[in-house]
Structures are given as C-alpha cells and as structure tokens.
Amino acid sequence: MNTFLLMCWEFFKTGLFAVGGGLASIPFLREMSIKYGWFTLDQLTTMIAVSESTPGPIGVNMATYVGYEMFGIAGGLFATLSLVAPSIIVICIVAKMLEKFKQAKVVQGIFTGLRPAVVGFILSAVVSIFLMALFNVDAWKASGAVMDLFKWKAILLFAGLMAFNHFKPKLHPIFMIIIAGAAGLLLGF
Amino acid sequence: MKKLWNLYVSWFKMGLFTFGGGYAMLPMIQREVIEKYHWATEDEIMDYYAIGQVTPGIIAVNTATFVGYKVKGVIGGIVSTLGVVSPSIVIISCICGLIQNFSDLPAVQSALRGIQVAVCVLMTRAVINLYKKGVKGIPTFVIFAAAWVLSTFTNISTVILVIIAGIAGYVLYSMELKKGGEAK
C-alpha cells in the first residue's frame, strides 16, 4: 500500500483504539516506529517533548508532528484528520443516543455516579500539575533540605495570580496564561 | 452560518491556549462554552468528560465534537473539532519547519514553567466549581473520594473506574427513587 495511505490508516486506528486521551496514543506511535521505521524512538521522545510544550491537545500535536516529518504540511494535516475522524463518528453516534435516552432513569442514575468521579479524576490531575509546577520533589529527596522542596518563584507567582484572579474573576483565562508565560520568561523560571 | 463560525473560532481559541491534556482545557471550556455562549451546562461538560474517558480518541476532541453536535448536529461536531485541531496543525508545522530542538530552548522552558503556574490557578477554580455541581451529599462524596484516591494511587484504568462509578451511580439513584416512593 502507498505509504501516505498507510500512515493515514495507522492514525485512524490510533484514533479508534487509543482510549483515554493523548498519552494513550504513545504506545501506538511506538509501534509505528518499530513496525515501519518511519521515525526512530529517539525522534519520538523529541516529538512528545515538543507536543507537551506547544499549545493544543498532546495527541493532536503528535499526529501533526509525525505526519509533517513524513510528508510535509499535507502529511501533518491528513495524519491529524485521520486521528480525529473516529472520534467524530463515535461521538456523534453517542451524542444522538444520549439525546434520545437522556431522560431515561438508567442514564440519569449512571450520570449521578459519573459526575463526582470525573471531579475526582480532575482533582488527581490538578494535584500532579501542582507537584510539577510548585514543588521540586527530586531536589528535596537529593538534598534532604525542606527548603529545596519548594519552587519559591513559582509559589510567589501562584500567590500573585490567585490574588489577581480573586479581584478580577471576569478576566479571560487566556490573559492569565499570557501573563504567567511572560512572568516565567522575564523572571527566568 | 454564524453559529458554525462561532463554534470554529471559539474552539480554535481553546486549542490555542491549552497546554497539556484535555483536563487543562477545562477553565477555557468553562469560560467559552458555559459562560459566554451557553452551549452546554456544567453537568453536561462533566458528562462529556466521563464519556470521553471511555470512548476512543482524545478527550479534548471528543468534548469539542459533543458540544458542536449539541449546538448544530453532525456539521457542528465536525466544525468544532476542526477548530480545536487547527492551531496544532499550524504551530507544529511551523516549528518542525523552522526551529530545531524547540522544547530544549531555555526561553521556551521558562515560559512553560510560568504557564504551568497559571494552569494551577485556573484549574483550582475549575475544580472547585465542578465540585459544587457534581458532589452533593455523602454518597456522591464517597464516589468522588474513591475516584480521586484510586486514580492517584493505583494503576487501575480510568475506563474501569468510570464503569464502576456508573454502576454505583445507578444503584444509588434507584435506591433514592425507592426511598422517595416509600415516603409518599
């Protein structure tokens, strides 16, 4: 088969079988690297790093990256479209069913359980972002000094942004991201 | 047409200013989808996230498709998804073509560490808002706490946790309906 079509097919499969977000697609990309040799595992590590440090969902960034490396702009575009096509199909079907059965007692009941669980999952993600952004567990473990556990500049910025957010709650999240990015850059985080 | 354009632009913005996975998009979704355009409620977003966990595909994309479908059917779903992936396509193509070792650049690292702090602030607010909506009473608190502990400290797949939570919710709901019935 033509490599371009094969690449599209592989990304379609990834979109169809990688359940649970962008990081779930990494094993599929590893397999592509090993099976076809389209890119090396070293390149994959770089792709993951770039995908995490650029805006947009990680899974989408990785698909664009792989496609671009293989076939330029058209490759990036089609790899991404192939990746999201299964989502569009599956979710449209689920959404249609949901519309129909939303009032059913079974569905209402299931969602009473799902909503608090989702809050729990998100809290878990928030805690790990906090650990990454404000604390330096490795340095603390290495030196044993409690002071090394905290990223002081980040904590000060956090306090500042929290206060800012409290007094200007209507401010769009985009501005918060821009201010914080600029602060990180200027203060040399 | 106007609605489709709004969907595209709004999801483009959300894609452009989200760093990291689907959860990091939540503060933006709250502002754009819930507060600004009233395309969905907090409860619905939580439902979409839960379904997004057990269906194939990237959660951010699944959520975009869901919201788009609700507003304007299949075409709405497609337009929203194209919106959320467009910034990635443009940015990654530029970076691949122009800059080597992008993520190793000290300036990029510094800016990202700053952005992580903003994500902490935004997510704190988002999670408090959702907690108020999703956790009401002791039984739902137990589900919330169990989901948090299990997803943090064990390797049990989120898919399994979602299924268990769904069953627990159904049992709980039926029990409450029964109790309500007897009270009458």
Q: Which of A61, A113, A125 sits opposite B168 (nearest CB)?
A: A113
Q: Are residues A145 and A79 in the same domain?
A: no
- Region of A37 on the Ramachandran plot (φ > 0 left; ψ -120 to 50 alpha; else beta): left
Residue B183 has pLDDT above 80, yes or no: no
Across residues A84-111, what is the average pLDDT? 92
Which residues of A are less than 8 Å from B149 in CB distance? 120
Residue B96 has pLDDT above 90, yes or no: no
Q: Is A172 exposed, middle or buried (0-12, 13-18, 19+ CB in 10 A)?
A: middle
Domain count of the fold of chain B: 2
Q: Please give the single-letter amino acid code of residue A43.
A: Q
Q: How confident is the model at residue B184 (pLDDT cuts 50, 70, 90)?
A: very low
Question: Taking CA B140 as the corner, what is the angle to CA B135 and CA B143, rounded to the nearest 5 degrees?
Answer: 115
Q: Are residues B165 and B116 in the same domain?
A: no
Give the model's pLDDT for residue B68.
Answer: 96
Q: How confident is the model at residue B3 (pLDDT cuts 50, 70, 90)?
A: very high
Minimal C-alpha gap between B183 and chain A (Å): 19
Q: Which of A52, A79, A101 is the last residue of a domain?
A: A101
Q: Does A166 touch chain B (CB under 8 A)?
A: no
- Can you give the residue range of the structural domain that contains A24? 3-101
Q: A55 to chain B: nearest residue by CA?
A: B19
> Within 10 A of B46 (CB to CB), how many other CB atoms are there?
23
Give the model's pLDDT for residue A1.
Answer: 64
Q: Does A70 touch chain B (CB under 8 A)?
A: no
Q: Are residues A85 and A34 in the same domain?
A: yes
Q: Are residues B129 and B144 in the same domain?
A: no
Which residues of B are less than 8 Å from A15 in CB distance? 56-58
Q: Which of B18, B103, B148 sits opposite A123 (nearest CB)?
A: B148
Sole residue written with tokens 């998804």: B81
Q: Are residues B114 and B174 in the same domain?
A: no
Would the CB atoms of A174 and B103 count as touching at under 8 Å? no
Q: Which of B66, B144, B158 sits opposite A116 (nearest CB)?
A: B144
Q: Are residues B17 and B96 in the same domain?
A: yes
Q: Answer for the pair B168, A113: CB distance below 8 angstroms, yes or no.
A: yes
Q: Are residues A76 and A60 in the same domain?
A: yes
- Can you give the residue range of the structural domain that contains B91? 2-134
Which residues of A are less than 8 Å from B131 in CB distance? 119, 123
Q: Are residues A94 and A152 in the same domain?
A: no
Q: Are residues A47 and A91 in the same domain?
A: yes
Give the model's pLDDT for residue B176.
Answer: 83
Would the CB atoms of B93 and A54 count as touching at under 8 Å? no
Give the model's pLDDT for residue B99.
Answer: 77
The residues facing A135 across adjacent strands are A150
Q: Are residues B143 and B113 in the same domain?
A: no
Q: Are residues B45 and B75 in the same domain?
A: yes
Rounded Cα distance between A180 and B117, Å, is 7
Across residues A92-103, what is the average pLDDT? 91
Q: A112 to chain B: nearest residue by CA?
A: B169
State pLDDT tens for residues A13-46: 999 988 866 677 888 998 999 999 999 888 888 8
What percent of chain B stands above pLDDT 70?
97
Domain count of the fold of chain A: 2
